Amino acid sequence: MASRASKLPTPSAPRRLRVPFRTALLIWWCIWLALLLFFFSGVQFSIGPIQIRTIVLNTNFIAEFWPFISRGVLMTLQLALVSIVCASTLALLAALARLSRVAPLNSLAGLYISLMRGTPLFLQFLFIYAALPRVGLIFDAFTSAAIALSLNYGAYMSEIFRAGIQAVGRGQTEAAYALGMTPWQTMRRIVLPQAFRIITPDIGNQFIAMQKDTSLASAIGLGELMQLARQAGNPRQAFFEALIVAALWYWLLTIVFSFGQSLLEKRMARSDRHQEQG
């Protein structure tokens, strides 16, 4: 049968060139990026009656001020790191309170979460920095920003923590109780370690989002990336240039963190596999 099949004339169907999808993706990425760059290239030309004018950037401004603006990166990172740590702690406490049968704690956490999710983050920044001094609570810009971010993200993340804790099976708690462990020992040693594993990707996403929301701190004068961009750009009418420098930094940080996150997830997946193979 095979020999007969080989004797059949192979129909010479027109072969289309098949580009592997990954290669196609790469090529298109380059095309879109080139187009994006082109918009800011300053090139001007006309095709017939159509005038093409791209944006002219003040390269002198960029050369002169990009080190100044870049100094804000450190502040941005500091703020994001401090806030994610505080927010996670707060989120864990709020999640435990929400899962507890202690009415005052449970309802307090509920109120906190509702309030923080029900008002804009920007308003919270201003409230803490500008309104609280009226009652004698005065915080500097960094502290205010860290408090606002921690409170706000803590509320959102508490729901993540709660879901993670609930995702750990009831049987785990029962097994620990049957061995004589206290509820707190069970939570700390059996449930939370498993819950953290489940929610690590979500916490990573929150961190990436928060790293960009630090820019709201520019409204209360904290010398972070966004604020320095505005300080440099506004008086010189160099909005495009200043914002582009800041945008590139945010973008770069996000890419780096996303990459770190995917490495972490791969490592966790590998250690899961490792567990399965012994």
Partner 1 sequence: MAAPIVQVEHLYKRFGELEVLKGVNLAVAPREVLCLIGRSGSGKSTLLRCINFLEEPDAGTISVAGITVPAGERSGAHKRHLRELRERVGMVFQQFNLFPHKTVLENLIEAPLVVKRQQRESAVALAEALLAQVGLADKRDVYPSTLSGGQQQRVAIARALAMQPQVMLFDEPTSALDPELTGEVLEVMKNLARNGMTMLVVTHEMGFAREVADRVIFMDGGLFVEEGTPEQCLENPRDERTRRFLERVL
278 makes contact with partner 1 (CB under 8 A)? yes
Sign of CA dihedral 141, 142, 145, 146: negative
Coil, helix or strand at residue 55: coil
By the 10 Å C-beta count (0-12 exposed, 13-18 middle, 19+ buried), 196 is classed as middle
Which 19-38 residues touch partner 1, going by CB under 8 A? none
Number of chain positions touching partner 1 (CB under 8 A): 22
Q: Pick from 58, 159, 197, 240 the residue near partner 1 by CB under 8 A.
A: 197
Which of 19-27, 28-36, 193-201, 236-244 is the region at the interface with partner 1 (rule: CB under 8 A)? 193-201
Query: Smaller CB distance to partner 1: residue 131 or 175?
Result: 175
Work out the number of other CB atoms within 10 angstroms of the CB of residue 184. Answer: 9
Strand partners, 47: 50
User: How many Å apart are CA 274 and CA 278, to the nearest integer?
Assistant: 6
180 makes contact with partner 1 (CB under 8 A)? yes
275 makes contact with partner 1 (CB under 8 A)? yes
Q: Are 242 and 250 in contact (CB under 8 A)?
A: no
Query: Smaller CB distance to partner 1: residue 3 or 277?
Result: 277
Contact code string over 146-175 relative to partner 1, x by CB under 8 A: -----------------------x-xx-xx
Give residues with Cβ within 8 angstroms of 264, minimum separation 6.
200, 204
| Ramachandran class of 248: left when φ > 0, alpha when ψ lies in -120 to 50, beta otherwise | alpha
177 makes contact with partner 1 (CB under 8 A)? yes
What single DSSP character describes residue 256?
H
Contact code string over 198-237 relative to partner 1, x by CB under 8 A: ----------------------------------------
Query: Smaller CB distance to partner 1: residue 172 or 262?
Result: 172
Q: Pick from 190, 199, 220, 222 the residue near partner 1 by CB under 8 A.
A: 190
Query: Smaller CB distance to partner 1: residue 120 or 193?
Result: 193
Give residues with Cβ within 8 angstroms of 150, minimum separation 6.
82, 83, 86, 87, 90
237: amino acid identity, one letter: Q
Q: Site residues (CB under 8 A) for partner 1? A: 169, 171-172, 174-182, 185, 189-190, 193-194, 197, 275-278
